[in-house]
């Protein structure tokens, strides 16, 4: 066993050190010197099953297949590499981290038992690196400390009284209330204006009384012979 314990990377600035299905480890640089012919595997195990992991279980076998993790398989092997992938010292500009759980395309593919698929729950998990020459284990690191992933909050557990959210909601509600009041006042004013305008322009017409013109005949005119001509 080599005097090295895998750890979550401390390389800043790195977003998503742990998510609901992934976590990020430092690469084992300068750890497996002298094992040039070995394949270096990452073993991911349930915390409770780390102590009973069988080092002779080969990668890609039903005993270590990702697709059956975490039950009945309690530990799987993934992210195989050679010593050339972990050069020492680290060249400038190299990315020296491993994101565990980042492959989604092979998560259900039984033909890819060493898939680096999303982790099925929050854990806790433990990991270690194992060097195999053929099927024979030749070196391994210590197990990591327990690693817990993030858990999504259920909608019922989200507080609706948070000070930041309540202040914003109060401001929005106040603005909407003011705008609604202005709109309502405008509508009332328009209705009043239209009502008063129609009342002021209306007129009441009454039927004029009929005027009777009496016809008078001047009798003395008809009595004169000259007027009849």
Q: Is residue 64 part of a domain?
A: yes
Q: Is residue 126 part of a domain?
A: yes
pLDDT at 205 over 50: no
Structural domain of residue 21, as residue ranges?
1-151
Q: What is the pLDDT of residues 144-197, one digit of tens each?
A: 999 999 987 655 555 555 545 566 777 788 888 888 888 888 888 888 777 766
Q: Is residue 164 part of a domain?
A: no
Q: Domain count of the chain?
A: 1
The candidate with the shortest Cα–Cα distance to 100, out of 82, 83, 77, 131, is: 77
Longest Cα–Cα distance in the chain? 165
CA angle, 82 then 85 then 91, to 5°: 150
The tokens for 139 are: 């070196």
Q: Is residue 187 part of a domain?
A: no
CATH code for the domain in which residue 115 is found: 2.60.40.10
Q: Is residue 223 part of a domain?
A: no
Q: Is residue 214 part of a domain?
A: no
**pTM for the predicted model, two decimal places:** 0.67
Q: Is residue 141 part of a domain?
A: yes
Q: Is residue 93 part of a domain?
A: yes
Q: What is the pLDDT of residues 26-72, one digit of tens each?
A: 999 999 999 999 999 999 999 999 999 999 999 999 999 999 999 99
pLDDT at 216 over 90: no
7 close to 144: Cβ distance less than 8 angstroms: yes
């Amino acid at each position: 066993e080599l005097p090295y314990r895998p750890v979550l990377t401390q390389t800043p600035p790195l977003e998503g050190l742990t998510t609901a299905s992934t976590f990020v480890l430092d690469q084992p640089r300068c750890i497996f010197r002298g094992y040039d012919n070995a394949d270096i595997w990452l073993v991911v195990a349930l915390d409770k099953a780390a102590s009973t992991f069988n080092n002779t279980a080969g990668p890609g076998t039903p005993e270590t297949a990702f697709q059956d993790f975490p039950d009945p398989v309690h530990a799987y092997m993934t992210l195989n590499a050679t010593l050339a992938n972990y050069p020492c010292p680290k060249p400038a500009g190299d990315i020296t981290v491993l994101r565990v759980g980042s492959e989604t395309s092979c998560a259900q593919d039984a033909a890819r038992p060493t898939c680096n698929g999303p982790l099925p729950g929050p854990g806790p998990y433990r990991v270690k690196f194992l060097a195999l020459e053929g099927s024979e284990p030749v070196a391994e690191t210590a197990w990591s400390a327990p690693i817990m992933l993030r858990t999504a909050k259920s909608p019922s557990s989200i507080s609706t009284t948070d000070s930041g959210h309540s202040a914003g909601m109060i401001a929005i509600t106040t603005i909407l209330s003011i705008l609604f009041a202005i709109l309502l006042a405008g509508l009332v004013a328009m209705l009043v204006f239209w009502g008063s305008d129609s009342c002021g322009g209306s007129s009441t017409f009454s039927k004029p009384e009929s005027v009777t013109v009496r016809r008078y005949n001047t009798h003395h005119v008809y009595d004169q012979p000259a007027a009849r001509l």
